[in-house]
Each structure stands twice: as C-alpha cells, then as structure tokens.
Structure 1
Amino acid sequence: MIHVNYDHQKHHRHSIRLAEYDYSKGGAYFVTICTRNGDLILSKPPKPIHPVGVALAATHSHESPRNSEPDSTDSFKLTPIGEIVERNWRTLPDRFPMVSLDEYVIMPNHLHGIVVINERDQSNFCGAGERVGARPTPTVPRTAAIPTLGMIVGAFKSMSIHDVLAHIEENGLDMIGKIWQRNYFERVIRNERDLDNIRTYIRNNPRNWERDDENPAR
C-alpha cells in the first residue's frame, strides 16, 4: 500500500504538461522515463525471501550517503545498462549547471526522479538548491539560456543511448540500442508538502513493484 497523497494512476500513466506553463522556470519536477516496450533491462529484483514474496529496491535519497551499501537482499541489482543509465542521470548537473537532482530510483523498466531547475535570485521554496537538491544553487549568468525540462530529459536520453550503443558494440550484444520510450511523464512540484509526498512515493515504489502497473508479471 502506498501511504502518500499521490494518485499513481493520474500522474504516472499520463503526461500532465500544463498549458502555457514555462518549463524553463525555476522549480522542481517529478519525472518518469520508461524503457522502450517496457523492456526489463535496467535492474533485476532479488529472488523473494519472504513468504509473501515482497521485494525491496534501493532508492537514492538526498538524506542517505551515496556510498552507503544497501543490504543485497533488499535491493534491485542494476544491470550494465542500468549502471549506464544511472551514471548519465547523475551527471546531468555537470551538463546543466543550473540543474540539481533530488530523490530517484531505477526500476527494472523505468526511472523515477526529481529534477530541480534553479533560476538566479529565485526566492520560492526550491530557489535554494541546497533545500531541495544535493547541490548548492549555481550562479547562472543572466545571458545563459535556462534549459526546458524537455531539453534536460532529451539530453539524458541521448547521452545514455550513446553509451548503451557503445556498450552493445563492445560486448557484441544482440539488442536494440534505443532503450527509451519516446515520451516521458512529468509533474510540476508546487510546494514542500507535494515534494515530501513525491519523495515518499519514490522511496516506496520499489517495495510496491509486484503491484506496479509497469510490472509485466502483474
């Protein structure tokens, strides 16, 4: 059971881009990116060890040290493709200095993550990157173009596909390199309560994998 004020059916299954909304505005966004055809190529659930067969996966939180090692029985193991995806996700702030990353999780066939776009001199709840993301708000020159959320997600997809194609060639794999579904899903995070609810949803998503609409075995 998901103990958050978050409508999974409404927000995960449908893109909810807002009409006339400027997606380059500073703010926080909940993003879901799915694999092509729902292929289970990013991570693998552990074998059930409990009678009910409930599996847990590791999420990556702003509250937990990145170098902490989760218990192997409680975590999904990233595949080589999943490791490539995680590396490219975590390096987005290097490509876009005004971007910070918050909570995220890599599931077998999708990624959930919170992306923060920081504007200079922004004063709202997520204006200070240290309050929402892991990095301090960078100083962005007034002449610098603020990327849209679509540009950020597009860059992530392109970078990860490039590295996946190289991995396929190097290892002689028989698979398609275009790993992502064409679209993505997002929600504007409007306040601190919304942010906390979505963080909780991301953390709890793995333990609900057996009931997840993206799970083909469901």
Structure 2
Amino acid sequence: MYKKNKQYRLYNYDYSQNGYYFITIVTKDREHFFGKIANQEITLTVIGEYVKSNILKFYVDEDLDNPYQNNPSYINANTTITSITEWSVLPDHIHLIVEIINLENKAYSSITGLSPLVKGSVSSFINHFKGHVKKWCNENNFPAFNWQSRFHDRVIRNEVEYENIALYIRNNVLNWR
C-alpha cells in the first residue's frame, strides 16, 4: 500500500515544543543567489548579506552566561522564544539550528494533514523568515530570487547529535565541492 501524500515532517510530532531543530532551506532550482565559494571561503552577494543579517537577528551565542540578554528580537508574542544557535550561508542554501522555548504550557493536539501554521512553531518561524527575505528581494529589484517551497528539518534528539550537526554546519563551507 502506498501513501497518498508524502509526509514532510515527523509524523505526529509537535514542532512548537521545546527543542532544537536542524533546518536546511534551499533556493529555487538551487540557484547560487547567496554567494560564491573560492579557496574555502564564501563571498556573499547582496542577497546573501541580507539573509545573514536576518539570521543574526535571531542568533544566540550559547557560550555566554546569559545568551539572550543582547537579543531582544527572539520573543514571539511573549509566549515563545525562537533563536538560532548555529548557522551557515552557502551559495544555494542555508543551514540553521533553531531553538524553540515555550514560556507557557499548552495542550498539544495531534493534527495530521494540511493545517494552519501553529504560532511559535518551526514552520511558522521558517515561513516568516522566507517571506521576509522574498519581500525584501522583490522591493530591491531581485525578482528572480525565490525559495524552494518546503524546507528540510531534523529534530535534534540529544547533545551528541547537536554537536555533530553543529560541527557539520561550521565546516560546511570548507567541505563545499
């Protein structure tokens, strides 16, 4: 028996619950809108610099004693903290580790199939991030820019997995072919 519709998210998982999520967002047709890599270094385009500046609005350095103190843009309606703890921009995609922290308890109902965006979820954050970048590109004469329609995610289950993914992200430019 075949599935009628392909599942893109982990089945029956609440993507607004506390945790870390490894996210990859790709440009449409894998076009190199964000920059070029030469000698294991990336030179960002104007669009790449804009994407980086938007990532940095949510970047939190977890090595600090109070990593959220200098980052006021991470709170979503005083109910959810959304931050980025690791990131890299490559010519045709970006990698992020997104952290979700809920500040209030909420009941989870398992919703399957197509459903509206859940406030404070990974999908909601990525939808807003992609939309913000696309809008800026349209307003600044880069109408050809577009994202692939979806994104890849992985729920990070433990500290070892987090460290392995973080190392992969940090070395991504060095391993570019």
TM-score range, shorter chain: 0.7 to 0.9
Whether contact under 8 Å (1:31, 1:186) holds in the other structure is: yes
Map 1:12-161; keep pairs closer than 5 Å: 17-46=9-38, 55-56=39-40, 75-92=41-58, 94=73, 96-97=75-76, 98-120=81-103, 146-161=119-134
Q: 1:121, CA displacement in angstroms?
A: 7.6
Cα distance in structure 2, aligned partners of 1:163 and 1:91: 15
* 8 Å Cα contact 1:16/1:187 also seen in 2: no
In the TM superposition, residue 16 of structure 1 has moved relative to its aligned partner by 5.6
1:146, distance to aligned residue in structure 2 (A): 5.0
How many residue pairs align between the two structures? 142
Summarize the Cα distance change of 1:84–1:188 in structure 2 as closer, same or farther, 3 Å threshold. same
Distance in 1 (alpha carbons) for counterparts of 2:19 and 2:10: 14
Q: Which residue of 2 aligns with 1:197?
A: 164
1:20 maps to amino acid? N
- Which 4+ runs in 1 deviate beyond 4 A? none
Report the TM-score when normalising by structure 1: 0.60
- Tell whether the 8 Å contact from 2:25 to 2:151 is kept in structure 1 after alignment: yes
Distance 2:74 2:101 in 1: 14
Matching residue's letter, 2:36: K
Contact preservation (8 Å) 2:36, 2:42: yes
- The secondary structure found in structure 2 opposite 1:208 is coil
> Contact conserved, 2:74 with 2:83, CA < 8 A, in 1?
no
Q: 1:193–1:102: structure 2 CA closer, same or farther, 3 Å change rule? A: same
Contact preservation (8 Å) 1:103, 1:113: yes
Cα offsets for 1:192-212 (capped at 9, x unmatched): 1110000011112111111xx
Q: 1:176 aligns with which of 137, 144, 168?
A: 144
* TM-score normalised by structure 2 residue count: 0.73
| Bigger strand share | 2
The reply on whether 1:166 has 2:139 as its aligned counterpart is: yes
Write the letter of the residue equivalent to 2:96.
G
The runs of 5 or more residues in structure 1 that have no matched partner are 1-14, 47-54, 57-74, 123-144, 211-218
8 Å Cα contact 1:103/1:114 also seen in 2: yes
Contact 1:84/1:164 (<8 A) preserved: no
Judging changes above 3 Å, is the alpha-carbon distance between structure 1 residues 113 and 161 closer, same or farther for their aligned structure 2 residues?
same
Secondary structure at 2:176 match in 1? helix
**d(CA) in 2 for partners of 1:96, 1:37:** 33
1:100-141 deviation per Cα after TM superposition (whole angstroms, max 9, x unaligned): 11110000000001000012389xxxxxxxxxxxxxxxxxxx
